[in-house]
Amino acid sequence: MFMGEYKHNIDTKGRLIMPAKFRDDLGERFVITRGLDQCLFVYPETEWHILEEKIKKLSLTKKDARAFSRFFFSGATECEVDKQGRVNLPHTLTEYAGIEKACAVVGVSNRIEIWAEAAWESYMEASADTFSEIAENMMDFDL
């Protein structure tokens, strides 16, 4: 399980140090793709395959299912961490997420999210007032 929030910078070659606490659970190979809310989603291979199977079951006759599948898979890239703990983020993905240098790397249960630091801070600030309301609505899920 991934949890916690870490701040890192991307170097001039597009490499990001993956937090040490995340590396073991990520495994040797993992997948990074476009996420929702203009961040990047990072999945260990096992979680990626589970998600892949679910998306494959979506009906090709539904326009939204086709659009989501294209969005999700076209941005996906298989990655690995180098000996220094860095991962090379493809330019197309950093461009999508608006990541130039400063990043927030966030553990979210079965995945990691990589945000432009300013976007993460804006998201947290904008959402702070609604977390209580969200939590109240989540009571239906017996949390």
Domains (ranges, CATH) in the chain? 2-141 (3.40.1550.20)
| pLDDT tens by residue, 22-66 | 999 999 999 999 999 999 999 999 999 999 999 999 998 999 999
Are 8 and 19 a contacting pair, CB within 8 Å?
yes
For the entire predicted model, the pTM comes to 0.92
* Spatial CB neighbours of 124, under 8 Å, sequence gap ≥ 6: none
Question: For the chain, where are the alpha helices, taking DSSP H only?
Answer: 20-26, 45-56, 63-74, 91-97, 117-127, 131-138
| pLDDT tens by residue, 68-113 | 999 999 999 999 999 999 999 999 999 999 999 999 999 999 999 9
